[in-house]
Amino acid sequence: MPSRRKGSSERWSMYPLLHDSVSRLLKEENLHFDFHDVDDDASCIKEYDTRVMGRFICHNDACNSHGWSSKRIAITIRMYPEEKYNGRVYHQRCRSCNSLSKPLLDDSYAERVAYRIKKWRGIQMEPPIFSGEITDPHESHLCEGCKAGHCSVLVRVVKGSHMGGMETGYW
């Protein structure tokens, strides 16, 4: 049986390999942004907390969990000077063994990132209809986004401009 050991102690990840998907969606509005490889608090111009969807696999060989899906994966989308962006996607802990797991993301990552960049660039858009009803309660003790104060499930108010243009919401 192959080992599932791929876990780490990292509490979040960035997904530069999904940039092409984001770029295609931005191209619809003639926008061009590059992925900013450095997650830098100091130089970001805008920041937005939201959520994406995906699946987690527990990499602890001693755990009986077969993984879980989540419609509440916390993400902080950031815009930087010179038409750059990134997204910090927070990991979740396994309910069975408390090990950290990095998500495998679906198309909602590219859709949410592109939507937010378009809004920041002044493009008038209606928020897309959220597909998928959330029925399970949010388990904030397993959510690294909650622990970092960047989970949109817990913080739904718009943060003031005195905080460097940071906002929070679903889209």
Q: How do residues 13-64 score in pLDDT, each as one tens digit?
A: 999 999 999 999 999 999 999 999 999 889 999 999 999 999 999 999 999 9
- State how far the Cα of 19 lies from the Cα of 114, in Å rounded to an integer: 10
pLDDT at 169 exceeding the cut of 60: no
Task: Pick the more confident residue, 158 or 155.
Answer: 155
| 143: DSSP letter | B
pLDDT in tens, 65-83: 989 999 999 999 999 999 9
| pTM given for the model | 0.84
Buried-state track 128-150, b at ≥16 Cβ within 10 A, e below 16: eeeeeeeeeebeeebbbbbeeeb
Amino acid symbol at 59 = H
Distances (CA, A) of 51 to 6, 37, 80, 145: 24, 20, 20, 10
Domain extent listing, the chain: 12-168
pLDDT at 122 exceeding the cut of 80: yes
- State how far the Cα of 117 lies from the Cα of 70, in Å rounded to an integer: 24
